[in-house]
Chain A
Amino acid sequence: MSKFKKSSSANQDIPTAALPDIIFMLLFFFMVTTVMRETDIMVKQKLPRAQQLTKIERKSLVSYIYIGEPKNTGLYGEEPKIQTNDVFITEKDITLFVNQEKDKLSEVERDQITMSMKVDVGVKMGIISDVQQELRKSNARKLLYSSILRVDE
């Protein structure tokens, strides 16, 4: 009879103490990789595909310029527009924007500012060229044409 008693007193629970740790690990992964989207992109963004892509080394040095046809064509028209942060700007305001972005960086890093151009494939070169001329004038010469990796079949 004592045999029966022993077997029934054995612990049948699966230890779940490690479960929170596993979840925390996943949590930390997502916390680290997450980038909070602080801007609402108001232009169409179908990025071009290319193969010779380089990664951005330091994210803090990057500022974004979005160019594309506005999503809300009823309100903003169908012509491609330039968006930085949360607002539409014109070519002339690029210098101001660059200077604002440069002010956020420390003095030694200001020349290394990289402009990431997120341009929709449907945009014509005219507006992009105008933006580039302004960037040259405001001495933000490092550019990155943001694109997605093309995989050949």
Chain B
Amino acid sequence: MAKGKNRNPPEVSSGSMADIAFLLLIFFLVTTTIANDKGIAMLLPPPPDESVIQEDIIIPERNLFKILANSKDGLLVENEPYFGTMDELKEEVKKFVLNFGNPTPDGVEVYNSLPPSMKSFINQYGKDPESSDDCTNGKAIVSFKANRGTSYELYIQVLDAVNGAYNEVYAERVGITPEEWLTLDRDDEIQDDMYLRARQGIPRAISIAEPD
């Protein structure tokens, strides 16, 4: 009887548990495609309302940064053929947005809220009376028009460069790197506040015209 008491409690053999788990694991390994869904976000303009007669809003030439792409993937930037790289285009857009050539009171307010590094950037490259007045609503518009024959690759590259310019401006304004800017989580209150502060007075004014 003493022998029976000393015996170990009976165990269920769990040796094959690992095998079962392995089988499932291999199944999921094979069927998995890690979601890598990232991209350039854009908001399309609302559909044209036919009941309202469209008024032509005249925007002074200096407040427009025109990028045209033709069917041979050639670029026309500010009415001149463009052969530079996309990084250079990004810098051009940045200079255009941060020009403050003839700022309105709102524009002055935005200018005063900028960090010193950006103010010196503006004083060095900006203040051109032939370029945008300031960066507030409707004063600095980047207009991009592609042709029906333009390749999607070029379209994305240009869109990427223009978005990049804006993102760099926003990131610098709140003192973070552009990479950190892209990963801001707007559900977080502090980060959302940062996001709103950066965009205050500098709307992302990218106009994408219908290709012809």
Contacts and interface: CB of A to CB of B under 8 A. Distances in A.
Interface residues on A, range: 35 or more
Contact of A129 (B31, B160, B163, B210): B210
A45 interface: no
B47 A53 contact: no
A142 B14 contact: no
A27 B24 contact: yes
A84 to B, nearest CB: 16
A54 B38 contact: yes
Nearest to A18: B18
Nearest to A24: B21
A119 interface: yes
Contact of A125 (B14, B41, B148, B157): B148
A20 B18 contact: yes
Contact of A136 (B44, B163, B182): B44
Contacts of A56: 37-38
A95 B182 CA distance: 31
Contacts of A16: 15, 18
B182 A52 contact: yes
B211 A126 contact: yes
B25 interface: yes
Given A50-B156, A124-B150, A129 B211 contact: yes
A133 B210 contact: yes
Contacts of A37: 31, 33
B25 to A, nearest CB: 5
B2 interface: no
Contacts of B211: 125-126, 129
Contacts of A75: none
A144 B39 contact: yes
Interface stretch (A1-9, A28-36, A86-94, A102-110): A28-36
Contacts of A142: 41, 43-44
A123 interface: yes
A148 B153 contact: no
A122 interface: yes
A71 interface: no
Given A16-B18, A30-B25, A52-B182, A147 B147 contact: no
A120 B152 contact: yes
A54 B44 contact: no
Given A35-B33, A53-B38, A139-B47, A20 B17 contact: yes
B32 A33 contact: yes
Contacts of A136: 44-47
A17 B24 CA distance: 18
Interface string B131-173: 0000000000000001111111101110110011001000000
Contacts of A54: 38-41, 182
B28 A30 contact: yes
B156 A148 contact: no
Given A34-B31, A136-B45, A137-B47, A26 B156 contact: no
Given A34-B32, A50-B156, A139-B47, 18 more contacts: A23-B25, A30-B28, A36-B31, A37-B33, A50-B40, A52-B167, A53-B40, A54-B38, A54-B39, A62-B37, A125-B149, A125-B151, A125-B211, A143-B41, A143-B43, A145-B42, A147-B40, A149-B38
11 contacts: A27-B25, A50-B157, A53-B39, A56-B37, A59-B35, A62-B37, A121-B152, A124-B150, A124-B152, A137-B47, A148-B36
